[in-house]
Structures are given as structure tokens and as C-alpha cells.
Amino acid sequence: MRVLVASDHGGFELKQLLVTRLHGLGHEVIDLGTHGQAPVDYPDFAHALAARLLAGDGERGVLACGTGIGVSIAANRHPGVRAALCHDALTAEMARRHNDANVLCLGGRTIGPAVALQALEIFLATPFDGGRHAGRVAAIEPKGESK
């Protein structure tokens, strides 16, 4: 799978870990930064990743900031992006099964590395359940903006 990855400084350390694991699992990674610990603004990275995802440059996205909150709010401003702030394996699994989330958001300062890596692996491996969830997911986009 081709996976787009981005973070701000608060998620930088976690992003590096996620990139290493993604490579280890054989995924293709497009790392959109940030590339160091210097303070940056999380919306810039969330918007860049959302735009690349919607352009078809990756099948899934992974975003990290200090809490995962800022990047999820920003990414979800893009119709067609379903960014899920997840805290563990269960939320990552349900984000895929019920919400067909295409972007995983994680907090570099709120969850530990082992839990984050487990969430990542489950997010990428879990299919959408479809069925009764399909209409609900379609109804997420405000009328006239569906994608």
C-alpha cells in the first residue's frame, strides 16, 4: 500500500517510528514532513496530506501531532477525507470497519509507541465492513459535497 505520512513537531518522533514500521511491513511511504523538532504549524501538514490523498497519491494517510486533535480537525475540513483520531487498537479497528476512515490520526504525546504501532498495523490491515455502514459513511459529507 502507498501511505502518506505527516506530522508537526509534536508528532515528529512518533512519525519517524511509524515510517520505519511502514517500511518494515513493505509499504511505500511518502513522508510529507516535518523533518525535525523545530516548531511548525500542524494545519499546514494536515492540509498537505489531505490534498495529496484526494489527488490519489496514496491509499491511506497517517497524521500525528501532540494530541492528534489538531491534525484531525484540519484534515477533516477536506470533503472525502475521513480522518479518525485513534487511541488504541480498538479505535483503529472500528475507524476502518464502521467509518471507512482513510486517515489515521495519532497523538505523539498521548499514547506510547507500542500502542501507536499496533493501531497503525490494524488500521492498514482492516477492511471496511460496508453493509449498514455504507449509507452512513456516504451521509457524512454535507449534501452537494459528496465524494
Our measurement of the distance from residue 9's CA atom to the centroid of its chain's CA atoms, rounded to an integer in Å, reads 16
Q: Which residue is nearest to ligand RB5 (CB)?
A: 70
Per CB under 6 A, 30 contacts ligand RB5: no
Per CB under 6 A, 42 contacts ligand RB5: yes
20/143 Cα distance (integer angstroms): 40
For ligand RB5, give the closer residue by CB, 4 or 74.
74
In the complex, the smallest distance separating the C-beta of residue 66 from ligand RB5, rounded to whole angstroms, is 3
Span from 51-59, 62-70, 96-104, 115-123 in contact with ligand RB5 (CB under 6 A) = 62-70
Per CB under 6 A, 8 contacts ligand RB5: yes
* Helix/strand/coil (H/E/C) assignment for every residue in 69-93: HHHHHHHCCCCCCCEEECCCHHHHH
* Active-site residue (options: 9, 27, 47, 65): 65
Is 86 designated active site? no
Give the CA radius of gyration of the chain. Answer: 14
Our measurement of the distance from residue 113's CA atom to the centroid of its chain's CA atoms, rounded to an integer in Å, reads 16
Is 23 designated active site? no
